[in-house]
Structure 1
Amino acid sequence: MSTHSTDKNEVHHHESIAMPETAYDGQVRVHNRHITNEPNPKTQPFDPIANPAPLGLAAFATSSLILGLINAGVLVTFPTMAVGITLGYGAIGQLIAGLAEMRLGNTFGATSFISYSCFFFSYGIMLQPQSGFLADAAAGGLQNVEWAVGLFQLPWAIFSLLMFIGTLRQPMVMRVILGQVFLTFFFGMLGGFLMNPVLTKVGGWFSVTLAITAWYGMAAMLYTPENTYFTLPIGVLHKEE
């Protein structure tokens, strides 16, 4: 799913999560398919708003860390707290970020954040006893539970692969984040279909590293000269002066 000189540099990449490069003057605008420091009155007939990407990445990271630790076997039980974080922060935080990206005209960011918001919403709902998912799955035995989990992650693995391909011209940090999202769902899906706990744990650890990378991306966007004494690199591919 960020940061510095007084030069008016312009960073180009196709419809991506709003992540400004090192030339950040606090007036970053996202419009059409580009990130730029210059407002465009034709595509931005509204007052500027804050960059929503840090919020979306923070919400994604927090929920991914908890779910990753559970799948990796570090937490042997599924605490109720995990459902609260999934719904209260992972889902709502990314939904707000996605709607803000949509208002900015950023199709990629809006699609990414809102879709993964829906994932956390659906995952949290499924884990509620009232939904009947756990009872129905358990009625068919362990194999039925594992297959249900694998089937649930299958379309998300496909979606994440497509989103990862869409980051190939984006900053390196976004490619790493979406790549780890795909690997998390991919190994989780295989672990469910093959009833292999090792593969499930591998997916869990990818979710943990994903959380760390997402927090890094968040920090790279927040650490500007106005806020800190240093900045973080994000690996921008294309820069035009």
Structure 2
Amino acid sequence: MYICIFFPTPCCAYSLGTTHISCKMRNTDERRAWRLGEEADVPMCDPSNQEPCSAKKDDNGSVERLAAAPAPVEDYRQKLGDPGAVGFVAYGITTVLYNLSNADLFPLNTTTAGIVIAYGGFAQVIAGIMEFVRGNTFPCTIATTFGSFWIATALVWILPHKDTSTPNEYLHEADEAFLGVFFLLWAVFTSVALASSLVMPRAIFFVFVLTLLFFVLQSVAFLSKSALLKRIAGFEGICCGLSALYCGLAMMLNDAHGKTLLPLFPPRRKHNHL
């Protein structure tokens, strides 16, 4: 018969017939589980350093003292908001306004330049930094890279500005062929991003498909100096921006309501039966 003597002190009790040290059971359920030989994860005290431990009764009736599992460490990154919505909304609005000019619907103006630099550029870079803090490599790379793309695009317009006070121009305006190479390299990067997005919701994958098509059309339009292709690329870019805007608004709306109101269509995952 197993008998425990529970001391009124906050810590230890000695079992008769053994030399094992157990600890004080603080309620009836814990003592009952102990008497029935069930495993009990009971906070115990170490006589030497008062560290908590757990214990269980083995088949021979002896008390086995086990080290307690470490307390779970709270991950601060889980408290941070998801910057994905900011990145997609910024990319979507900027892409739509930029391509309104490419489609010859509106002339390129300071409104386009302002949104490209402030929202398409800085906002996406900030979103990428937030993704870096959260430990998300792919969203961090995408947001910071496309944010830098918009800043670079704005600088292409601004840097070769001519002025009467500066007759010697050190930065020449890029010709259309070089801009074709510029967009071609972005198409290469986007193709790799597209392959990486295969595991993501289908709405996000669709954004990368349209983005890749936009860069390819832009590259071919500038290399061939075709105004028609450039206008087609503009209309395609508007569709690309609207799809990205949908993803960003869906993320924001679904997070605010705690349920899916605008679906992103998650990918179908194959079950592993091994």
TM range (shorter): 0.7 to 0.9
Deviations 1:119-160 (A, max 9, x none): 0111111111456799723xxxxxx72212212211111101
* Alignment-derived partner of residue 7 in structure 1: none
Deviations 1:49-87 (A, max 9, x none): 111001011110111011111111111x21022111110
Go from structure 1 to structure 2 and tell me whether the alpha carbon gap of 1:78 and 1:135 turns closer, same or farther (over 3 Å shift): farther
SS where residue 79 of structure 2 aligns?
Answer: coil
Alignment of 1:27-66 (within 5 A): 41=73, 44-46=75-77, 48-66=79-97
Go from structure 1 to structure 2 and tell me whether the alpha carbon gap of 1:225 and 1:122 turns closer, same or farther (over 3 Å shift): closer
More strand by share: 2
In structure 2, what is the Cα distance between the partners aligned to 1:224 and 1:84? 29
Structure 1: unaligned runs, 5 residues or longer: 1-39, 138-143
Code of the aligned partner of 2:120? G
Which shows bigger deviation, 217-226 or 196-205? 217-226
In structure 1, what is the Cα distance between the partners aligned to 2:90 and 2:231? 22
* Alignment-derived partner of residue 203 in structure 2: 173
| Structure 2 residue corresponding to 1:160, chosen from 190, 194, 202 | 190
Contact 2:100 2:235 in 1 (8 A): yes
- Following superposition, the deviation at residue 224 of structure 1 comes to 2.8
Contact 1:225 1:231 in 2 (8 A): no
Code of the aligned partner of 2:104? G
Code of the aligned partner of 1:173? A
| Structure 2 residue corresponding to 1:136, chosen from 148, 155, 172 | 172
Runs of 4+ in 1 over 3 A off after TM superposition: 44-47, 129-135, 225-230
TM-score of the superposition, structure 2-length normalised? 0.64
Go from structure 1 to structure 2 and tell me whether the alpha carbon gap of 1:215 and 1:232 turns closer, same or farther (over 3 Å shift): same
Go from structure 1 to structure 2 and tell me whether the alpha carbon gap of 1:226 and 1:187 turns closer, same or farther (over 3 Å shift): closer
| Structure 2 residue corresponding to 1:84, chosen from 114, 117, 132 | 114
Code of the aligned partner of 2:172? D
SS where residue 175 of structure 2 aligns?
Answer: helix
In structure 1, what is the Cα distance between the partners aligned to 2:138 and 2:258? 29
In structure 2, what is the Cα distance between the partners aligned to 1:41 and 1:61? 37
Go from structure 1 to structure 2 and tell me whether the alpha carbon gap of 1:46 and 1:235 turns closer, same or farther (over 3 Å shift): closer
| Structure 2 residue corresponding to 1:68, chosen from 80, 86, 99 | 99
Go from structure 1 to structure 2 and tell me whether the alpha carbon gap of 1:220 and 1:214 turns closer, same or farther (over 3 Å shift): same
In structure 2, what is the Cα distance between the partners aligned to 1:223 and 1:212? 16
Contact 1:60 1:94 in 2 (8 A): yes
Greater Rg by CA: 2
- RMSD of aligned Cα (Å): 2.5
